[in-house]
Structure 1
Amino acid sequence: MNERSRSLSSLNLLKSQDGYPIERKVIEASGRLGSLYDASTDNLIDRHAVQKVERKIPRRRSICRLLLGDQSKDLISFLKDIDFDDAIRQSICLQMVTPNGISRLIEYNQPIDENTRFLYYSYRARKEWLDVTAHQTNRIVAAPSLPTEATHMITKILWGFEVLCIIQILKNEFANPVDRLLHHICDQLQDNRIPVKLSSNDRQLINQLNNIIVYGSETCVNQSNISLLTVLTRIQDWQKDSNVHQPLIYTMQPLRWLYNNPQFDVPCTFPRPDNPHTARIENVINRINNQITDLGKIFLNLPTN
């Protein structure tokens, strides 16, 4: 390929109409359109907000899932079932972000087994986005004037709220009627049939479920020991109250695609030595190494016969 062809190819790459977006499930909900984001650590760098935005209502408003417990899986694996991708789960594992909302699932301290149920509900209120194009975003929002650790800018936000109920069924013979009830609830929530219709027997059964922990958007779930019936009763109010709605998913474009600026030519930069996230990663790595060493000593001391 000659130099002219190579240049044209690079130009076409940069001017891809859709850019090179990445999505992240939101941990820190204070980001807004135009905010800068470090995708290598999943942290917001600033909280800049742009007023000139596009909006629309999502075609699919409600998502509900019922998941069964599995003692062979660790808690971080269950986050994958509720749309946390590998990158954000890795950031949670390495303690580069502080869990908020439903990601606090990893703080759950009870055993997960065949009698555990996860009822997940997400309501998508609206989408907002910036109409950005390659190397012309400065017409909407100015490029950072100083060197930054940011790699991306938030260009689209899905707003709403979400709730995760972790339910422990105390008796095996109790499991089938509870599962039927939870499927009945999940079907209604999935179809956005609000308020959820429950019979007197359903309510009686729900009241017997007294080992429930609830995580959710902080604007609607401020304590984890609320009942399932309370959650179901409040969902309709939460849907209508825009003050409850928070960012659920950030979609971000790389700064090197958004701006024609030499400082963004490198996809990402090495963190500064004083970056606190680096220290946290080193602590985790050291802890893992120590555990491996301890396991090695245990195996060496095992009897040979």
Structure 2
Amino acid sequence: MSTSHGRLLPVTNRKAIDSSGRIASLYDAYKDLIFESINLSMKGKRCQEIKSRKCMIINGNRDQKENILKTIGVENELRLSLSLNLRDKTGLAEILDYSNPINEYTRFFYYFYLGREEQVGDNPIRISYSDKPTKPPIGTTHIITGIKTGIEIIAVLQLTSDTQRIVEIDNALQRLRTFLLNDDRILKLTQQEENLLTNSIHTKIYSNTHDLRDINRLDDVCRFLKQAQNKTINDIVYYILRPINWLYPFYTGPGVEFISLPEHLSNNIEEYVLQLRDDILKLKKCIKEDLLKLLNGYLKDRLSNLNQQWFAVNKKYTNEIDRLSKLVTGVRSGQTSISTVEQTLESDQKIQLQHMIHDLKQNINDLQQKGYFISDLDRLKFQYLNVADYGIDSVDNERTIECKLMPNYERDWVLCSNDSLNETNPSQLDHLRHGMIEELKYNPNIRLLYADFSYCSFELQYMLKLPSDKHYQPNNKSKSTPKIRSSMELSTNTSPRTKVFTDTNEPLVQPPKPQTSTTMPTEARAYQLKPSKSENSYQASTNLPTVHSLSNATQTSLLSQNKPYTSSPRPI
């Protein structure tokens, strides 16, 4: 402790996540920022060699919410300033922006080497200085009166999921730790261990030493650290702070008072903010990377809506961080009471933000499930169609829907449904898809389509099949529409080669080659499958809609509404 006019003034240590400071630099502890320096004489400076070492290997896990900076000893006040964005994340603090998931395959390799300590004398009267301002700059709360130099690193390692290799890598990490803490001069690793450290893990280095940040191999980092133990290290790992009254004993302006938040309150705010930040980063990655890849060009409007929703959540999150930052700096400067902070933490803004995050997570999950569904359709040889892209709305009917969805009437087979029907009748969906897949085996020229009515205003009351090939009566030159039985009506002991969408008494005839002019068939068959009262049985509609003859102009207009065929996404 130092004194000022008989008063004891605390001496504070701060991790040097910003290495720009030096002895006599001014410091703003409200936001943990370093200001300009005062020219102090170094005649009274004291130096002490220390040369202490510390090394830890910390296992990650899925439930690990503890801030890794807390584990390595970063002070509560500095961690809170970092989490509230009161200062930039530099040096070791950049680990807060680590974007990969932390789980049971994560390892933190921490090393700390303290070389020496330098301080000015305890009594400022005996220190000579030049160009000392008559009063400190606004916002100054402390002055740096000492530094501790050395090396500090955190290596984040993402391991393979192979259990045997994890054991071998953990053993190699222990050998590296022993090498750094003992007096061995040569690192002895087997070729297999070197290969494991190189090929089986992803390594990211955070350090106060710039030379270490570009090294990707942990064994090379350890060799560098070992050599540095025998050298003079000038990189700062700690600042020693004294209150500004130590240098300006009669100053009573802003910055004189600094009040630390109680540890429990500081921890509560930090945990809340870190959880918010984690949610925001995960939501952003899911929307802008994972869903974008999964949907593979489908449902662009839905994805755009999610992006807009995320922007709104992120703006609300930024406002919440600003609100908490003002509360914290208010307490530190003595302008806000601690009780006020405790009472206002559970604000309407916080509750609203939590609801917005919950809703966004639910919408992401829904679209993610749709992405998996589309991938499954692709695996089953179905092309996915979002009928909202085809101009279908509440004024349409089955005839107009059939015209809009079928650019290639001769070979398209369409299964119409929506999310609600699929959830209510999953067995019916599976049955219909299976029937169409069986037909594809014996008629490879057809194209299977799934028409999704989930995002349009047309209310689909039941799953609907729209077969679009033409059938002909045998030995009859005139075209006719044979009596068709639903696939749900087919006998369970039908032979494997039974055509699912055709009358079993009438053979399927391939349609003739299309004429040069654009024509639409005069008749088409549509299937309406209404769920019966029984959960696993269905009744075919007796009113089968038909497409009446259309003029060439009308046909061309309808065909122009259809989008070109595009390949379905590959399964993720």
- Give the TM bin, normalised by the shorter chain: 0.7 to 0.9
Counterpart residue number, 2:246: 257
Q: Does the 8 Å CA contact 2:38/2:131 hold for their aligned counterparts?
A: no
Residue of structure 2 in register with 1:293 after alignment: 352
Structure 2 CA distance for partners of 1:292 and 1:174, relative to 1, 3 Å: farther
Out of 29, 43, 47, the position equivalent to 1:55 is 47
Other structure's SS at 2:36 match: coil
Q: Which has the higher contact order (CA 8 A, sep 6+)?
A: 1
Q: 1:195 to 1:38 in 2, by over 3 A?
A: farther
3-state SS of 2:24 partner: coil
Q: Give 1:297 deviation, angstroms.
A: 6.0
CA distance in 1, matches of 2:356, 2:115: 54
1:138 and 1:97 mapped to 2: Cα distance? 31
Q: Which amino acid aligns with 1:180?
A: N
Q: Secondary structure at the match of 1:45?
A: strand
Of residues 131, 147, 154 in structure 2, which corresponds to 1:157?
147
8 Å CA contact 2:168, 2:193 repeated in 1? no
Instruction: Name the SS of the counterpart of 1:46 in structure 2.
Output: strand
SS of the residue corresponding to residue 140 of structure 2 reads coil
Is 1:206–2:206 an aligned residue pair?
A: no
- For residues 189-200 of structure 1, the aligned pairs below 5 Å read 189-191=180-182, 193-200=184-191
Between 1:229-238 and 1:149-158, the stretch displaced more is 229-238
Query: 1:69 and 1:47 mapped to 2: Cα distance?
Result: 41
In the alignment, is residue 227 of structure 1 matched against residue 217 of structure 2? yes
Residue 214 of structure 1 deviates from its aligned partner by 1.1
> Runs of 5+ in structure 1 lacking a partner?
1-9, 271-279
How far 1:66 moved relative to its partner?
Answer: 0.8
Say if 1:238 and 1:209 are closer, same or farther in 2 by CA, change over 3 A: farther
Q: Deviations over 1:231-259 (max 9, x none)?
A: 122223444554x6311011111122344
Tell me, in whole angstroms, the C-alpha distance in 2 between the residues paired with 1:192 and 1:49.
Answer: 41
Alignment of 1:128-143 (within 5 A): 128-133=118-123, 136=125, 139=128
1:20 paired residue among 10, 35, 55: 10
**Residue pair 1:61, 1:192 contacting (<8 A) in 2 also:** no
Is the CA contact 1:116–1:168 (under 8 Å) kept in the aligned structure 2?
yes
Picking from 70, 73, 80, the partner of 1:83 is: 73
Write the distance in 1 (CA, Å) between the matches of 2:74 and 2:101.
Answer: 21
Q: In 2, are the aligned partners of 1:120 and 1:165 still within 8 Å (CA)?
A: yes
1:32 maps to 22
Distance of 1:281 and 1:263 partners within structure 2: 34
CA change 1:24–1:289 in 2 (3 A) is farther
Distance 1:190 1:237 in 2: 13
Give per-residue Cα distances to partners, 1:165-187, cap 9 Å, x unaligned. 11111123322222222122112
Distance 1:144 1:235, change over 3 A: same
Count of aligned residue pairs for this structure pair? 275
Give the secondary-structure state (helix, strand or coil) at the position aligned to 2:37. coil
Q: 2:56 aligns with which of 59, 65, 69?
A: 65
C-alpha separation between the residues in 2 aligned to 1:78 and 1:111? 14
- In the alignment, which of 161, 167, 182 is matched to residue 173 of structure 2? 182
What is the aligned partner in structure 1 of residue 160 from structure 2? 170
Q: Find the counterpart in structure 1 of residue 84 from structure 2.
A: 94
Q: What is the identity percentage for the equivalent residue pairs of Structure 1 and Structure 2? A: 23
Q: Contact 1:128–1:156 at 8 Å: present in 2 too?
A: yes
Alpha carbon RMSD of aligned pairs, Å?
3.3
Q: Distance in 2 between matches of 1:214 and 1:291?
A: 34
Match of 1:146 among 135, 138, 142: 135
Is residue 256–residue 264 contact of structure 1 (8 Å, CA) maintained in 2? no
Distance 1:41 1:269, change over 3 A: same
CA distance in 2, matches of 1:138, 1:229: 45
Task: Specify every segment of 5 or more residues in structure 2 that has no aligned partner in the other structure, as ranges.
Answer: 260-316, 325-346, 363-572
Residues 55 and 230 of structure 1, relative CA distance in 2, 3 Å threshold: same
**Displacement of 1:24:** 0.8
Q: Calculate the TM-score normalised by the size of structure 2.
A: 0.43
Q: CA deviation at 1:118?
A: 0.3
- Higher deviation after alignment, 101-110 or 231-240: 231-240
Displacement, 1:81? 0.9
Post-superposition Cα deviations, 1:30-83, rounded to whole Å, max 9, x if no partner, equal: 11111111111100121345433211111x4221111111322347x1111111
AA in 1 matched with 2:18: E
**CA gap 1:110/1:147 in 2 versus in 1, 3 angstroms:** same
